[in-house]
Structure 1
Amino acid sequence: MAHDPTLALTPPSPAALRGLRVVEMGQLIAGPFAAKMLGEFGAEVVKIEPPGAGDPLRNWRLLQDGTSVWWQVQSRNKQSVAIDLRSAAGQDLARRLIAEADVLVENFRPGQLEAWGMAPEQLLALNPKLVMLRVSGYGQTGPYRDKPGFGVIGEAMGGLRHLSAEPGRVPVRVGISIGDTLAALHGVIGVLMALRHREVNGGQGQVVDVALHEAVFNCMESLIPEYSAFGVVRQPAGSALPGIAPSNAYPCSDGWVLIGGNGDSIFKRLMAVIGRDDLAQAPDLADNAGRVARVAELDAVIGAWTAQRTMAEALAALDAARVPAGKVYTAADIHDDPHYRARDMILQQATRDGHTVAVPGIVPKLSATPGTVRSSAPRLGDDTDAVLAGMGLTAAQIAELRARGVVA
């Protein structure tokens, strides 16, 4: 993949996934997010999009010159090849790409690849080393496999939506597509484990099956053990952390501050800050169980202290006492924060339309092989000719496919 000279980025460095070839088939969030992460750490990612509109994410949320600024993040370090997978010729081109790939990422509904003659057994016969990441609403098996599933449904079925509310009020969205992102992260973990297995076990590939609701459910902590052992159905708790105290959001004169005073020694320091040494020394508040029993009282006294102060005043006092606390950041807060800047978590990225936009940096931070942005997000089909030529097609063959509408 060619380096884009318009990007003012970090110098080239050894890439953890250099030499890894990824074919991305799918759209929107979960599958493309997983491929994005692989690309950030050096993998060559070829994204197959349908001719015409391409991935719908190109047109989601706020657009700049007709293209979503979200696209600039989700599709950096990728090559775009426009192929009509509904045609037999397009399916053949996809199979030829997959035959030379290490990883295939797809998030179609279960059965779609099979309908195109690309079932796992067929692709693994074509390319035995292939690792296939398949992300779907309910997984590739089970009674719900054919139901349509989006991230928001996975969040509900996984147990998250029930808890994301104030008590007695309607369950609310987290505010982002967290179900899709959690599925993507689990998918990346699965791909890396499968690649490690391939490395030590004779080069054999396999299928990584990720269901949206299972990725959410995997993060639900003690939800099921508590139900199994005690018959307790955990309920919404708003901004509090149930069973752990004190930990909540507290009102200041100009906003909200989050305080985590739930460690035994931290609690004592917190009480000293707010002038309640009597509570710091109370025998029944020396451990978490006792504090949970009096959580309403503790939240009230902490809230009374914060309400008399600005966020800056409260945070300065809490920081000095080494009590974990923070403000509720908005996009503007994140964009201007010096800590985000110091850790390269806000990057200036050029677009192929001549703009520069601030985008999130790369996570995680690797000391020897850090992730990089090597190319900006492509326009639809930007790399079709180059990729097909690399597969051995002549200019005349590519032109004939384009005339038939197979590629664009």
Structure 2
Amino acid sequence: MTPQDPSTAMPLDDIKVLELGQLIAGPYCGQVLADFGAQVIKVEPPGKGDAMRQWGEADRDSGEPLWWNVIGRNKQSLTLDLRTPRGQELLLRLAEQADVIIENFRPGTMERWGLGFDELSRHNPRLVMVRVTGFGQDGPYASRAGFASVCEAMGGLRYLSGHPDRPPVRVGISIGDTLAGLHAALGTMMALHQRDRSGLGQVVDSSIFESVLAMMENLIPEYARAGKVRERSGSFLPKIAPSNAYPARDGRDVIIGANQDTVFRRLCEAMGQPRLADHPDFATHRARGEHQAAIDDLVAAWTREHDAQQVVDILAEAGVPAGLVYRAPDMLEDPHFRAREAIVEVPDRHGKPLPMQNVFPRLSDTPGRVREVGPALGEHTETLLAGWLGLAPEAIDALRADGVI
């Protein structure tokens, strides 16, 4: 968990981004771009900043919330009141020099401020505008408030999450927000690539509900052509067997995925029951799907005879995918995580090493890196207004006195 070489070039270090969004969806897009070198300027309301500065568990020593260090990492903070004419004017001037602007306000908000795409692109035709919302920029639900919980439900994820005899549950993270941010970052790169060919920017419209819907595999054609409504199934997928969480002797669960024919044969050999692989109830993928409960019972009977780590070791040697259900302590202790530097330590604002997930995906020649944790509110306001807009110190002081910054 060592910091990466600060001299390494990064693929987006020539891209300037203004991030206006708050909470998770828009800022996660900004995080991804910043991780790969983009200069991401986080534009925040004076005095309070992004609500993410207050979310999540607090550091037991400093009392400061920890989540901001991750979603705000590698960014610069500039305070600006976009609800004032002067703030809107300054944002427009900043946008003239930007490559990308990210916003996740309700549709129409930027237009009411005189900062819609038509106006921004008139001043900067090369600008890519990334708009992240719950329901998209048009359609009958566009103006609705769209938190991830609602959009995950409408995108199909909630109905499939949990056990069939209980109400739907939420995934333990804000997955809809993050998916929308990730799709927004992907759309940003496509729009920038197209701009290299056309010279013109465009709008990237990333909604949370469609980002979730895009991950729903064959759910729609499965219903339209087979009349099948996919239901909650708990820890397994229907007709995919054996692939489940299996109990071990020491009380831990082991995740085993051996539904492919050749892998299932290796599992049977590891279990000491090689003839199971040729049994007509289990010999093919479809047969195992029809007899899913029976094969799960057989695998569980074997795993209960061993401790969880022993099961994993046996199956790793046999070439069968298996792993423990990890929590944060397990990740920090795992040698593979360390070897891959999947978790990196970054000094916080007090100089204390703070572990967090590293940048992903990994690029061989121009990798991204975590350069610093989330900035203090308004930490870079004076530097950016002077450097980007050429404002003199007395002009900046006047803006601060008026509450614009």
SS of structure 1 residue aligned to 2:244: strand
The structural deviation recorded for 1:373 is 2.1
Query: Would the aligned equivalents of 2:346 and 2:372 in 1 still touch at CA under 8 Å?
Result: no
Structure-2 residue corresponding to 1:377: 374
Letter in 2 for 1:312: Q
Structure-1 residue corresponding to 2:118: 121
SS of structure 2 residue aligned to 1:285: coil
Residue deviations 1:32-68 (CA, integer Å, cap 9, x gap): 1111111111111111000111101001011233532
The answer as to 2:307 corresponding to 1:310 is yes
Structure-1 residue corresponding to 2:70: 73
Task: Structure 1: state its 5+ residue gaps.
Answer: 1-6
The separation in 2 between residues aligned to 1:10 and 1:75, in whole angstroms, is 20
SS of structure 1 residue aligned to 2:240: coil
Residue deviations 1:271-314 (CA, integer Å, cap 9, x gap): 11112223112244222101111111100010011112110111
Query: Would the aligned equivalents of 2:344 and 2:355 in 1 still touch at CA under 8 Å?
Result: yes
Structure-1 residue corresponding to 2:11: 16
The answer as to 2:218 corresponding to 1:217 is no
1:229 to 208, 217, 225: 225
Q: Matches of residues 6-155 of structure 1 in structure 2 within 5 Å?
A: 8-64=3-59, 65-155=62-152
The answer as to 2:283 corresponding to 1:257 is no
Residue deviations 1:256-279 (CA, integer Å, cap 9, x gap): 000001010111111111122231
The separation in 2 between residues aligned to 1:291 and 1:8, in whole angstroms, is 47
SS of structure 2 residue aligned to 1:258: strand
Residue deviations 1:301-360 (CA, integer Å, cap 9, x gap): 100111121101111111111100001001110111111111111111111133321111
Query: Would the aligned equivalents of 2:239 and 2:288 in 1 still touch at CA under 8 Å?
Result: no
Query: Would the aligned equivalents of 2:239 and 2:292 in 1 still touch at CA under 8 Å?
Result: no
The RMSD of aligned alpha carbons is 1.2
The answer as to 2:188 corresponding to 1:191 is yes
The separation in 2 between residues aligned to 1:135 and 1:154, in whole angstroms, is 13
Letter in 2 for 1:190: G
SS of structure 1 residue aligned to 2:362: coil
Structure-2 residue corresponding to 1:403: 401
The separation in 2 between residues aligned to 1:137 and 1:66, in whole angstroms, is 32
The separation in 1 between residues aligned to 2:206 and 2:67, in whole angstroms, is 24
Q: Matches of residues 236-275 of structure 1 in structure 2 within 5 Å?
A: 236-254=232-250, 255-275=252-272
Residue deviations 1:90-148 (CA, integer Å, cap 9, x gap): 11111111111000011111111111111111111111000011000000000000111
Q: 1:108 to 1:67 in 2, by over 3 A?
A: farther
The structural deviation recorded for 1:14 is 1.6
Task: Structure 2: state its 5+ residue gaps.
Answer: none
The separation in 1 between residues aligned to 2:340 and 2:5, in whole angstroms, is 12
Give aligned-pair identity as a percent.
49
Query: Would the aligned equivalents of 1:82 and 1:380 in 2 still touch at CA under 8 Å?
Result: yes
Choose 133-142 or 281-290, whichever is displaced more: 281-290
Query: Would the aligned equivalents of 1:59 and 1:66 in 2 still touch at CA under 8 Å?
Result: no
The separation in 2 between residues aligned to 1:343 and 1:208, in whole angstroms, is 33
Choose 381-390 or 284-293, whichever is displaced more: 284-293
The structural deviation recorded for 1:375 is 3.0
The separation in 2 between residues aligned to 1:9 and 1:323, in whole angstroms, is 34
Letter in 2 for 1:85: L
**Structure 1 segments of 4 or more deviating over 6 A?**
none
Q: Matches of residues 333-372 of structure 1 in structure 2 within 5 Å?
A: 333-372=330-369
The separation in 1 between residues aligned to 2:228 and 2:242, in whole angstroms, is 21
The separation in 2 between residues aligned to 1:115 and 1:168, in whole angstroms, is 47
Letter in 1 for 2:97: E
Query: Would the aligned equivalents of 2:348 and 2:373 in 1 still touch at CA under 8 Å?
Result: yes
TM-score normalised by structure 1 residue count: 0.96
Q: Matches of residues 169-188 of structure 1 in structure 2 within 5 Å?
A: 169-188=166-185
Query: Would the aligned equivalents of 1:85 and 1:91 in 2 still touch at CA under 8 Å?
Result: yes
Choose 303-312 or 66-75, whichever is displaced more: 66-75
The separation in 2 between residues aligned to 1:206 and 1:289, in whole angstroms, is 47
Structure-2 residue corresponding to 1:3: none
Residue deviations 1:134-187 (CA, integer Å, cap 9, x gap): 000000000000111111111101000000011121111110000001001100
The separation in 1 between residues aligned to 2:112 and 2:400, in whole angstroms, is 24
The separation in 1 between residues aligned to 2:272 and 2:290, in whole angstroms, is 21
Letter in 2 for 1:234: R
TM-score normalised by structure 2 residue count: 0.97
SS of structure 2 residue aligned to 1:47: strand
Structure-2 residue corresponding to 1:4: none
Residue deviations 1:1-35 (CA, integer Å, cap 9, x gap): xxxxxx95424212111210000001110111111
Letter in 2 for 1:399: D
Query: Would the aligned equivalents of 2:54 and 2:65 in 1 still touch at CA under 8 Å?
Result: yes
SS of structure 2 residue aligned to 1:68: coil
Q: 1:11 to 1:197 in 2, by over 3 A?
A: same
Query: Would the aligned equivalents of 2:346 and 2:371 in 1 still touch at CA under 8 Å?
Result: no
